[in-house]
């Protein structure tokens, strides 16, 4: 897990965090003597001892996400995100994925920007275990995006945010001059064929406008793209897509099971995403 010096800040005293060479980079320390040891899987839990009121994704949700993403159904969107980010900041030295989950999108972005330092931040240690395994070169940090980020001012060239909470002033602070923010949200048509069947939450039609309004004091809108295509989803895919998101917390499992039992081999389901690219203003 190579670290980028001067990128990370100690969450306690805001001093610079550096890796302990004698410990093969498996510990981070600051001049104030605070120390963070990597978990066995390679991520750093910077939230130790400072619980949070936000519900992290559970192991079950993370497993469903890993299984769904590995089926490739969101790959066209991931590739489009990577293409847009690489086109917008071709010389990026570092990229932060805020709410990185299992690192699927950060992986796509860093493959299109070879040599770029990658930071995956998420509140779920179950998700970051996967991210750390999938992206051994990335720095994976368990952290709450609603707290001051453990990153120095102007230390990253791109922030990627896919279906995850956004702390806009903090994203702006950590971004370099001319850095970009890429926000991906689902469109109302996303998964429309299976939302009610699987008891999933509806998607508000105003998401894109809400994102634009939330960032407008800190960023200038550069480009909005829509990525829409049809997926052929099996019953297993539908179960995973239902269980991997926020709907999982209030899903009716019996309804889901009954619905899935009636699914033929696969059904066509719409994928529809908004990809909004903003430039630090």
Rule CB under 5 A: say whether 16 interacts with Zn ion: no
* Distance separating alpha carbons of residues 177 and 16, to the nearest angstrom: 21
Least CB distance to ligand SAM at residue 161 (A): 8
Least CB distance to ligand SAM at residue 49 (A): 17
Rule CB under 6 A: say whether 124 interacts with ligand SAM: yes
- Return the structure tokens found at 42: 């390679």
**Residue whose Cβ sits closest to ligand SAM:** 101
| Contact partner at residue 30 from ligand SAM, Zn ion, none, CB < 5 to 8 Å by partner kind | Zn ion
Rule CB under 6 A: say whether 99 interacts with ligand SAM: yes
Rule CB under 6 A: say whether 242 interacts with ligand SAM: no
Cβ proximity to ligand SAM, 29 vs 44, nearer residue: 44
Interacting residue with Zn ion among 9, 30, 109, 248 (CB under 5 A): 30
Rule CB under 6 A: say whether 256 interacts with ligand SAM: no
Cβ proximity to ligand SAM, 183 vs 235, nearer residue: 183
Enumerate residues 59-98 that contact ligand SAM by CB under 6 A. 65
What is the CB neighbour count within 10 angstroms for residue 235?
18
The window from 33-41, 149-157, 180-188, 224-232 that contacts Zn ion (CB under 5 A) reads 33-41
Q: What is the 3-state secondary structure (H, E, C) of the chain?
A: CCCCCCCEECCCCCCECEECHHHCCCEEECCCCCEEEECCCCCEECCCCCCCCCCCCCHHHHHHHHHHHHCCCCHHHHHHHHHHHHHHCCCCCEEEEECCCCCHHHHHHHHHCCCCEEEEEECCHHHHHHHHHHCCCCEEEECCCCCCCCECCCCEEEEEEECCCCCHHHHHHHEEEEEEEEEEEECCCCCCCCCCCCCCCCCCCCHHHHHHHHHCCCEEEEEEEEEEEEEEECHHHHHHHHHCCHHHHHCCHHHHHHHHHCCCCCEEEEEEEEEEEEEEC
Binding track over 165-204 against ligand SAM, x by CB under 6 A: x---------------------------------------
Interacting residue with ligand SAM among 78, 81, 164, 275 (CB under 6 A): 164
Interacting residue with ligand SAM among 16, 25, 26, 146 (CB under 6 A): 146
Rule CB under 5 A: say whether 199 interacts with Zn ion: no
The site for ligand SAM (CB under 6 A) is made up of: 54, 56-57, 65, 99-102, 104-105, 122-124, 127, 144-146, 162-165, 245
């Amino acid at each position: 897990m190579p670290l980028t010096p001067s990128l990370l800040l100690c969450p306690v005293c805001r001093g610079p965090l550096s890796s302990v060479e004698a410990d093969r980079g498996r510990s981070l320390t600051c001049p104030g003597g605070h120390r963070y040891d990597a978990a066995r899987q390679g991520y750093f839990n910077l939230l130790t001892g400072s619980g949070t009121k936000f519900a992290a994704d559970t192991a079950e949700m993370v497993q469903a996400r890993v299984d769904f993403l590995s089926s490739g159904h969101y790959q066209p969107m991931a590739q489009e995100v990577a293409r847009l980010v690489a086109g917008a900041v071709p010389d990026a030295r570092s990229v932060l994925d805020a709410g990185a989950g299992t690192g699927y999108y950060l992986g796509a972005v860093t493959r299109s920007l070879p040599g770029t330092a990658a930071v995956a931040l998420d509140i779920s240690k179950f998700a970051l275990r996967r991210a750390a395994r999938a992206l051994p070169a990335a720095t994976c940090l368990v952290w709450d995006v609603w707290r001051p980020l453990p990153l120095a001012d102007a230390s990253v060239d791109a922030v990627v945010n896919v279906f995850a909470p956004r702390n806009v002033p903090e994203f702006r602070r950590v971004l370099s001059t001319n850095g970009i923010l890429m926000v991906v949200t689902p469109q109302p048509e996303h998964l429309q064929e299976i939302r009610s069947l699987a008891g999933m939450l509806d998607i508000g039609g105003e998401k894109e406008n809400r994102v634009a309004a939330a960032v407008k004091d800190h960023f200038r809108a550069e480009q909005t793209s829509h990525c829409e295509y049809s997926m052929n989803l099996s019953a297993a895919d539908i179960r995973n897509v239902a269980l991997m998101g926020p709907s999982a917390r209030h899903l009716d499992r019996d309804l889901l099971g009954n619905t899935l039992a009636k699914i033929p081999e696969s059904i066509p389901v719409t994928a529809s995403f908004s990809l909004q690219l903003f430039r630090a203003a």
